[in-house]
Amino acid sequence: MFFRFGAALSLVVLVALAGTGLEKQNLQLKRALTHQQYRLDELRDSHVRLRLEAQRLGTPAKLLGPLERGELPLRRPDQAKRSTGPRTPLLNWSSRFVNGETN
């Protein structure tokens, strides 16, 4: 009789320990998932900020000011961009403005 009681008590303790281990693992995985979600949100925010900055720096107004003041000299390309169809000379002009500096 004592043997059955001891076996039943041991079984209950083992099931409780197994449940505790599974809960611990479950919480650890939830924590990792939450951390990954946080990092994903941070990267999305960073991506949006960088994209807005790139759009702000690449606006035509940013390039037209120096062009109108004569800081960006225009030159004809060696070869026309459009080789077929009617040729309009004004479409073949380009700026030597690259990364904030003239070539």
Instruction: Kindly give the confidence (pLDDT) of every residue in the chain, 103 residues in length, as a single tens digit, with 9 standing for 90 and above.
Output: 888 999 999 999 999 999 999 999 999 999 999 999 999 999 999 999 999 988 887 777 666 777 777 777 777 667 766 666 555 656 555 555 545 555 4
State residue 42's pLDDT score: 96
- Whether the CB-CB separation of 102 and 96 falls below 8 Å is answered with yes
Closest CA to 93 of 79, 78, 75: 75
Q: What angle do CA 46, 62, 79 make, to 5 degrees?
A: 105
Q: Which two tokens stand for residue 8?
A: 């039943």
Cα(91)–Cα(88) distance, integer angstroms? 6
State residue 67's pLDDT score: 72
Cα 102 to chain centroid distance, Å, stands at 30
